Amino acid sequence: MKLVVVGGVAGGASAAARVRRLDAKAEIVMFERGEHVSFSNCALPYHLGNVVPRQESLVLMSPGAFKRSHDIEARIMSEVVKINRDRKTVTVSDLMSGETYEESYDKLVLAPGARPIMPKSIEGIDRDNVFSIRNVTDIARVKACIDRPEVENVVVVGGGFIGIETAENVVKAGKKVALIEGLDQIMAPFDYDMVQILHKELDDNGIDLHLSSTVTAIGDGSVTAVRTGADGEREEFKVPADCVIMSIGVAPETGLAKDAGLEIGETGGIRVNHNFQTSDPDIYAVGDAIEIFNMLTHKPGRLALAGPAQWEARAAADHMYGITNTYKGFIGSSCVRVFGQNAASTGLNEKTAAKAGYSFDSVMIFPNDKVGMMPDSHYMAFKLIFEVPTGKILGAQAIGRGEADKRIDVIAAMITMGATLEDLKTLELCYSPVFSTAKDVVNFGALVALNVLNDKFRQVHVSDVRGLVESGACIVDVREESEYAAGHIKGAHNIPLSQLRGRLDEIPRDVPVYVHCRSSQRSYYALCCLKGNGFDNIVNISGSFLGISLYEYFNDKTQGREPIVTQYNFN
């Protein structure tokens, strides 16, 4: 058995190592175009901010160590330029010597990854202060650039995971950062309402964030971009830029596969079967270059994540040795730290659920992440997407100063196991006041969602509130008077929950009444009280004052819009 692997990072190195564990005698050769194998892609941006100070730390294993510890031949600076399926060889170009040779295989694993998109349409994209981040060599170049004292202004183009992590780390390195994103929000896994918290966090930390803006040219000391307004109006602007980092997305490396006549899927990734075999059964493909099956949409998709790459690699290796795989499909769980906010998501969001044709609803809540009296307790924004009418959990997003990743990992487990809101409602998680609350964030999410699912109350979302205010709707704020005084929705009527029963005559019966408090806990009590007293047109404002404030703040500030609250209050 001779295994050849194309690509020496997450998927490739995992496939090679797994085959070695299964077969002590196999000959294993791994080709890597770059200078390093087995480095941590995901940690690259952290080198810029000196979270990982030493470049060498980014590399987990050298070719020498691969040979010594695993008897795997890792050849760096070696690009596989062709697959010769007829004679089961690959043609390899030695990038140091320029020579080309053929290497035979019994089984071939393609793990070529995906390359950063660098649009030729952007004038100046080839300048030597324009970078992308794919490997250790790239990040060393970027670091060398931003570490120069004369480099003051750095522009990051693209607000996905790499863009956000890069922007933060460049700020940590002491530079001024502008982030330019083509869509009206960063971080596609999050819905527009949730992501406003991250927009605010970037803004609070001095990042100059330009949304709905496309870079058109990179010039001497500046970048030119065009912003498209809500009305479709286009406005050109310039941002100072001594260094530009492109992170607008990646494209799967499918050239080799295409040239070899392997089937490419409808999403542009290499098509694979249940066992990660391509259309040639002796050639497997794993990682960012392939098309995966989504467990929730039941459709093909793409996924550029290290965890799935590793287990696809394992599954491919196992299949070579007759070990059966279970492939239930992927749900796409991810997380990111954005300065002081931890943000995580799993499964579908509103956009992807709609696109998949689901009938669904969602709730957004702001419960405490720990018992309120604990010194590091804070609210956590939590959004839960569920199918209607089944209550099947489809996805979740969590953002907060506390453990958002924990909540999302729990939801990922529940989704994977096909759980419904009823399962989540009573899920028994571990509790101590220093870690959580007796009913955890995720339990609260299920309880609120079940109320919506069971028509216990109607709700409007934070995105609807501006319209309500502008149309003069009746909004009742049931917080205490001191809270109201510290900031409230313009025109809202304040009747504290503690006074509500004595002031029922102040609530109109002829129009819808929109109720909120700080985090929707008291407004829920108010709603039950009002319903029980015969009011039948009461609507809960999902997310309440916290949600509204976080939703409106960034756009108000950057668009010079008239706030719908008298004063912002994020406590």
Region 11-40 residues binding its own copies, contact defined as CB under 8 A: 20-25, 40
Instruction: Please tell me the distance from the alpha carbon of residue 197 to that of residue 217, in angstroms, as a whole number.
Output: 30
Smallest gap, in angstroms, from Cβ of residue 430 to its own copies? 4
One of 499, 559, 567, 571 touching its own copies (CB under 8 A):
499
Q: How far is CA 323 from CA 267, 318, 393, 513, 538, in A?
A: 29, 5, 32, 61, 58
One of 69, 97, 559, 571 touching its own copies (CB under 8 A):
69
One of 28, 58, 264, 316 touching its own copies (CB under 8 A):
58
Q: How far is CA 14 from CA 6, 28, 41, 160, in A?
A: 12, 12, 14, 25
Instruction: Please tell me the distance from the alpha carbon of residue 71 to that of residue 462, in angstroms, as a whole number.
Output: 58
Give the number of residues written for the chain. 571
Is residue 513 within 8 A of residue 539, CB to CB? The reply is: yes
Instruction: Please tell me the distance from the alpha carbon of residue 324 to that of residue 403, in angstroms, as a whole number.
Output: 36
- Regarding beta strands 107-110 and 283-285, do their DSSP bridges make them parallel or antiparallel, or are they unpaired? parallel
Residue written as tokens 């490419």?
Answer: 264
Give the list of residues 6+ apart from residue 81 with CB closer than 8 angstroms, or none: 91, 92, 93, 100, 256
Q: Which is nearer to its own copies, 117 or 413 (CB)?
A: 413
Smallest gap, in angstroms, from Cβ of residue 59 to its own copies? 9
Q: Tell me, by CB under 8 A, how many residues bind its own copies.
A: 92
Q: Which of residues 460-489 bind its own copies (CB under 8 A)?
A: none
Q: Which tokens sit at 522?
A: 């008291």
Q: Which of residues 141-180 bind its own copies (CB under 8 A)?
A: 161, 165
Instruction: Please tell me the distance from the alpha carbon of residue 217 to that of residue 226, in angstroms, as a whole number.
Output: 10
Q: Which of residues 219-258 bind its own copies (CB under 8 A)?
A: none
Binding of its own copies by 416 (CB under 8 A): yes
One of 373, 472, 505, 510 touching its own copies (CB under 8 A):
373
Beta-bridge partner residues of 559:
none
- Regarding beta strands 380-387 and 393-400, do their DSSP bridges make them parallel or antiparallel, or are they unpaired? antiparallel
Binding of its own copies by 10 (CB under 8 A): yes
Is residue 143 within 8 A of residue 48, CB to CB? The reply is: yes
Binding of its own copies by 531 (CB under 8 A): yes
Candidate ranges 206-214, 223-231, 406-414, 543-551; the one touching its own copies (CB under 8 A): 406-414
Q: Which of residues 301-320 bind its own copies (CB under 8 A)?
A: 305-311
Beta-bridge partner residues of 270:
264, 290
Binding of its own copies by 390 (CB under 8 A): no
Smallest gap, in angstroms, from Cβ of residue 332 to its own copies? 7
Smallest gap, in angstroms, from Cβ of residue 239 to its own copies? 27
Candidate ranges 148-156, 211-219, 423-431, 552-560; the one touching its own copies (CB under 8 A): 423-431
Is residue 10 within 8 A of residue 41, CB to CB? The reply is: yes
Cis peptide before 389 (omega within 30 of 0): yes
Instruction: Please tell me the distance from the alpha carbon of residue 56 to that of residue 465, in angstroms, as a whole number.
Output: 51
Angle at the Cα of 517 (from 516 to 522), degrees rounded to 5?
Answer: 105
Smallest gap, in angstroms, from Cβ of residue 434 to its own copies? 5
Candidate ranges 91-99, 104-112, 252-260, 415-423; the one touching its own copies (CB under 8 A): 415-423
One of 522, 523, 539, 552 touching its own copies (CB under 8 A):
522
Binding of its own copies by 528 (CB under 8 A): yes
Binding of its own copies by 140 (CB under 8 A): no
Smallest gap, in angstroms, from Cβ of residue 301 to its own copies? 13
DSSP conformational letter for 519: S
Q: Which is nearer to its own copies, 83 or 292 (CB)?
A: 292
Q: Which is nearer to its own copies, 22 or 356 (CB)?
A: 22
Q: Which is nearer to its own copies, 67 or 490 (CB)?
A: 67
Q: Which of residues 320-359 bind its own copies (CB under 8 A)?
A: 326, 328, 330-337, 342, 344-346
Binding of its own copies by 97 (CB under 8 A): no
Q: Which of residues 428-457 bind its own copies (CB under 8 A)?
A: 428-436, 438-440, 443
